[in-house]
Structure 1
Amino acid sequence: MAGVARYDEIADFYAAGWTDDIDDPASRRLLDLLEPIGGRRVLEIACGHGRISRALARRGAEVVGADISAALIGKAEAAERESPLGIRYVHTDVTAGPAEAGGPHGELRGLGPFDVVVCSFGLSDIDDLDGAVATAAAALRPGGVFACSILHPCFPGGPGVSGSWPGGARYHAEGWWRADGELSSLRRQVGAHHRTLSTYLNTLRRHDLWVEELAEPEPAPEWASERPEAARFPVFLVLRCVKGGVDPRRPPSAGDQGPPPDGDQGPPSADG
């Protein structure tokens, strides 16, 4: 993950800024795309201090949260001890894959398969996008759901961000950037990866995760009033994918051919 040490260093700042009140449109939309969630087994990768994991558990899910930041996992576990919701947290590198990912707090090995894997903005932070998506896909049962929210790859997030994209404001120049706005901004503190939309979608496809639905939530009114220029375009992108969707380029199997067209009854029988 980009800046693991930085997330450890700003764990207090991060947890204070992202409370259990799910009041931002991107997180609300992400949770809504997972309904009905009650009784489902859920893995949250890059779970941070457990904000989304707790929201899912309160909606009735059985949740495992995984993150590479020891400080953030420590905060998640402290919240679980204070108000138990049955969440298990794993301190691990999710890009290593479920068979290898392990750490001092346990391993992902043997905890799946899951009905749902969710990632709230983590794919914008993680260096190894392919490794993280591979872990998500491997942890899912066939037909399971992967849902994620990311910084919208097609538009800069506001003043001070576009100039910090790799190559200035050039969309196709992928790489790590840091916002040059106010210090209270998370992306000023830890930065993020800019990747093209095609990079995200093709990575999902390579791991048999097919987009079912996507959303571009509008920013909250108070945020838009403070940053009118940034509010002109969508800042966030939320995707819901299914494992094992149908590739439209894949030839249908014999069982999928369907009946012959009208007037074509197939080859004649032996007696007629």
Structure 2
Amino acid sequence: MTTIARYDGVADYYASGWGEDLTDPVTASLFDLVGDVAGQQVLDVACGHGRISRGLARKSASVVGVDVSAAMLTKAEELEHQEPLGIRYLRSDAADPELLPGDEYDAAVCSMGLSDIDNLDGTLANLRRLLRPGGTFAFCILHPCFPGIEGVSGAWPSDGSYYDERYWQADGALSTLRQQVGANHRTLSTYLNTLHHHGFTLTQTAEPQPRIDPASPRSPMTRFPVFLVAAFRASDRD
């Protein structure tokens, strides 16, 4: 694969901003919804530099991480070399129909990556193929309904509306990452209906509040849903 991924150019920036602390409300909710992974085969989709993969492996899961960015996977492999956890990393498009042929997993996760994936249909079709019946798929994303606040872009194009589904790049002064890599905005109903179409049943959701500075407890970030975390159960394969 020779494709240059959007995250290749921001690997250093991203890895420096997302360390090994997994106690933030969003990540904690993700791990809570995916449940006990000890002894399970777990797939980490859009794994990036492996932050979530390492958290899963430390919970005694056998982990495979998949990402399209060679630069991000280089970071993940470097950390695996420093602290071997038995994680296998693979560079691939998550929507590639040839992804991991013959593999089966008990659970899959995707942390803040679904909006980076252009082909949602292909990715969910792969996850349904790779997950054992009854397996869990848990993900977290920027809430599709987040309208933004001063300096922070919302979930949808600033020159459009919530119903304007497309790839776009943020322009909020504080949305520095999404200024560079952009995101695919999809409505909440698109996510839910596409998951249902591919044989996933909703089991649990969470809308965790971001950490709030005690000096400004009335932050506008407490007035809107900012993040969405959800878990789905895979149905029997057709």
Q: Is this a same-fold pair by TM over 0.5?
A: yes
Larger Rg: 1
| Letter matched to residue 109 of structure 1 | P
| Letter matched to residue 150 of structure 1 | I
In structure 1, runs of 5+ residues without a counterpart are 102-107, 246-272
In structure 2, runs of 5+ residues without a counterpart are none
Structure 2 CA distance for aligned equivalents of residues 202 and 73 of structure 1:
31
Q: How many residues align?
A: 234
Structure 2 CA distance for aligned equivalents of residues 157 and 223 of structure 1:
21
Match for 2:190 among 162, 177, 199?
199
| 8 Å contact kept, 1:159–1:230 | no
Structure 2 CA distance for aligned equivalents of residues 164 and 84 of structure 1:
37
> SS state of the match for residue 117, structure 1?
strand
Aligned residue in 2 for 1:210: 201
Change (3 A) 1:222 1:165: same
Aligned residue in 1 for 2:161: 170
Change (3 A) 1:160 1:86: same
Change (3 A) 1:35 1:42: same
| 8 Å contact kept, 1:43–1:64 | yes
Aligned residue in 1 for 2:48: 48
- Counting aligned pairs with the same residue, the percent is 55
Deviates more, 1:175-184 or 1:83-92: 175-184
Task: Say if 2:145 is the partner of 1:154.
Answer: yes
> SS state of the match for residue 132, structure 2?
strand
| Letter matched to residue 89 of structure 1 | Y
Task: Say if 2:219 is the partner of 1:228.
Answer: yes
Structure 1 CA distance for aligned equivalents of residues 13 and 154 of structure 2:
25
> SS state of the match for residue 94, structure 1?
coil
Aligned residue in 2 for 1:32: 32
Structure 1 CA distance for aligned equivalents of residues 27 and 215 of structure 2:
17
Following superposition, the deviation at residue 95 of structure 1 comes to 0.7
| 8 Å contact kept, 1:70–1:91 | yes
| 8 Å contact kept, 2:115–2:185 | yes
TM-score, normalised on structure 1? Answer: 0.80
Aligned residue in 1 for 2:71: 71
Structure 2 CA distance for aligned equivalents of residues 63 and 5 of structure 1:
22
| Letter matched to residue 46 of structure 1 | A
Structure 2 CA distance for aligned equivalents of residues 31 and 80 of structure 1:
20
Per-residue CA deviation, residues 205-234 of structure 1 (Å, 9 max, x unaligned), is 111011100100011113994992233111
> SS state of the match for residue 163, structure 2?
coil
Match for 2:112 among 88, 109, 121?
121
Aligned residue in 1 for 2:90: 90
Task: Say if 2:20 is the partner of 1:20.
Answer: yes
> SS state of the match for residue 213, structure 1?
strand
| 8 Å contact kept, 2:148–2:154 | no
What is the RMSD computed on CA atoms of the aligned residues? 2.3
Task: Say if 2:218 is the partner of 1:243.
Answer: no
Change (3 A) 1:161 1:37: same
Per-residue CA deviation, residues 124-175 of structure 1 (Å, 9 max, x unaligned), is 1111111111111111001101111111111224334557833635211111
Structure 2 CA distance for aligned equivalents of residues 113 and 224 of structure 1:
48
TM-score, normalised on structure 2? Answer: 0.91
